[in-house]
């Protein structure tokens, strides 16, 4: 097998199937990552969404015994929405971060990797491969960094000089001894705009993220959101974009070459109030194809309630009062109580909160009702 020629053919083929950059790295263990991952865990910076086995995160051969090289791919996604829904007074909208625009990137990149697999099978016959997109054992970013897709930036994203950091990454482990590429130079230099712009200080040092304090992570949890973050997420329903938006390398990056990544304005900026009472079936139909729906309906609805509180949207009060007494989920009842206190300036809602407190059994919800009542008290109610 002429691996030089095969690599050349692979690079040419990848351009025809909607891949923006391909690089190849060795299958050596990611030894320098090990200490960083252990320290990250020990300091409590992990999100809990990571692959659970440390050794598998480090050593590619634990995913594919005879692995020789890893193909790293990058697919760019858009950063700008050209046809935003029209503003209508009282119609408040939420926002899904850019990583959730279009069809779930896990599906899109898996499809691209499958095509590469088929191509290599056709060219070489019997080879073994393993696909990974985000949820695999290996860190997509560590692979992309070593393969030279981009550098590992201070905001923890991979920045490809020609694409910026709005890229989804995927890996294909192979048993083919391809010639490998080299890492590229880190061009962050003395810039630290992302660190300065992070509203929670989650970028604790260059390239180190305390995921627990990251607003993207906070939008994805299923319990009550700690109060300190509620005032910071604004109208975000999923994810967070600030650390990418402020990056100078993303300034002119807005890629629309992949039809699957194109955002549907009504989906990425949905109306908030209808979202609050949406059935599971309707939620799945509306948002099930998006990466941002992976944690289900509850976190999105909780965040929608927080967004309505952010807007002080009084027309949401009837729905929030309904949720306060009727919703079976404590997180939704409690967050509604908190939001009612934030939004309302009337005795009617004060009475409703007091009544709800008498009937409420859940301690966390009672606590949120207290917070709602305290807001009303501050406003003189
Ligand atoms: Fe690097 Fe500056 Fe971009 Fe942060 S904002 S990733 S420091 S170039």
Domain boundaries, the chain: 209-239+258-380
Protein fold of 209-239+258-380: 1.25.10
172 SS3 class: strand
**Beta-carbon contacts of residue 127 (< 8 Å; ≥ 6 apart):** 120, 121, 174, 175, 176
Backbone angles phi, psi at 271, to 5 degrees: -65, 135
Q: Please give the model's pTM, rounded to 2 decimal places.
A: 0.94
Mean pLDDT of successive 10-residue stretches along the chain, which has 381 residues: 95 98 98 89 87 92 98 98 88 96 96 98 94 94 98 98 97 98 98 98 96 96 96 97 98 96 96 96 95 94 98 96 97 98 91 96 97 92 69
**Beta-carbon contacts of residue 306 (< 8 Å; ≥ 6 apart):** 225, 230, 233, 335, 339
Indicate whether residue 209 lines ligand 1 (CB < 6 A): no
Report pLDDT for 324: 97
Backbone angles phi, psi at 219, to 5 degrees: -70, -15
Please state whether 100 falls in left (phi above 0), alpha (psi between -120 and 50) or beta. Answer: alpha
CA of 296 to the centre of ligand 1 (A): 32
Paired with 209 in beta bridges are 203
Tokens of 185: 């130079």
Looking at ligand 1, which atom is closest to the CA of residue 206?
A: 7
Looking at ligand 1, which atom is closest to the CA of residue 195?
A: 4
Residues 46-77 as b or e (16 or more Cβ within 10 Å = b): bbeebeeeeeebbbbeebbeebbbbbbbbbbb
Indicate whether residue 155 lines ligand 1 (CB < 6 A): yes
| Closest Cα to atom 1 of ligand 1 | 188
**Beta-carbon contacts of residue 285 (< 8 Å; ≥ 6 apart):** none
Indicate whether residue 186 lines ligand 1 (CB < 6 A): no
Indicate whether residue 207 lines ligand 1 (CB < 6 A): no
Indicate whether residue 191 lines ligand 1 (CB < 6 A): yes
Residues serving a catalytic function are 134
Report pLDDT for 48: 84
Tokens of 288: 């099930």
| H or E element, residue 209 | strand 208-209
Best residue among 186, 187, 191, 245 to mutate for probing ligand 1's pocket (most ligand atoms within 8 Å of CB) is: 191
């Amino acid at each position: 097998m002429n691996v030089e020629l095969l690599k050349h053919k692979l690079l040419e083929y990848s351009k025809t199937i909607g891949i923006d950059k391909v690089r190849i790295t060795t299958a050596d263990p990611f030894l320098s990552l090990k200490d960083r991952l252990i320290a990250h865990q020990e300091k409590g910076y992990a999100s809990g969404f990571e692959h659970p086995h440390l050794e598998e995160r480090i050593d590619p051969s634990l995913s594919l015994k005879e692995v020789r090289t890893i193909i790293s791919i990058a697919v760019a996604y858009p950063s700008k929405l050209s046809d935003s829904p029209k503003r209508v007074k009282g119609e408040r909208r939420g926002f899904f971060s850019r990583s959730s625009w279009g069809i779930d990137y896990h599906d899109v990149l898996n499809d691209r990797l499958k095509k590469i697999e088929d191509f290599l099978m056709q060219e070489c016959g019997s080879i073994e491969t393993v696909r990974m997109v985000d949820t695999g054992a290996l860190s997509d970013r560590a692979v992309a960094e070593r393969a030279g897709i981009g550098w590992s930036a201070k905001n923890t994203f991979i920045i490809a000089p020609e694409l910026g950091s709005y890229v989804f990454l995927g890996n294909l482990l192979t048993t083919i001894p391809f010639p490998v590429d080299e890492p590229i130079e880190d061009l962050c230099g003395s810039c630290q705009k992302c660190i300065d712009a992070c509203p929670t200080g989650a970028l604790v040092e260059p390239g180190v993220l305390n995921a627990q304090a990251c607003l993207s992570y906070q939008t994805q949890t299923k319990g009550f959101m700690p109060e300190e973050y509620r005032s910071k997420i604004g109208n975000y329903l999923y994810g967070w974009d600030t650390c990418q938006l402020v990056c100078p390398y993303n300034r002119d990056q807005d890629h629309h070459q992949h039809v699957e990544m194109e955002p549907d304005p009504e989906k990425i900026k949905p109306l908030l109030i209808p979202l609050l009472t949406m059935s599971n079936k309707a939620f799945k139909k509306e948002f099930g194809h998006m990466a941002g729906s992976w944690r289900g309906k509850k976190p999105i609805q909780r965040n929608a309630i927080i967004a309505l509180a952010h807007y002080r949207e009084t027309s949401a009060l009837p729905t929030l009062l309904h949720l306060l007494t009727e919703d079976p989920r404590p997180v939704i009842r409690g967050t509604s109580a908190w939001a009612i206190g934030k939004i309302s300036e009337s005795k009617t809602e004060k009475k409703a909160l007091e009544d709800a407190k008498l009937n409420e059994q859940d301690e966390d919800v009672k606590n949120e009702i207290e917070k709602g009542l305290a807001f009303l008290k501050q406003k003189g109610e």
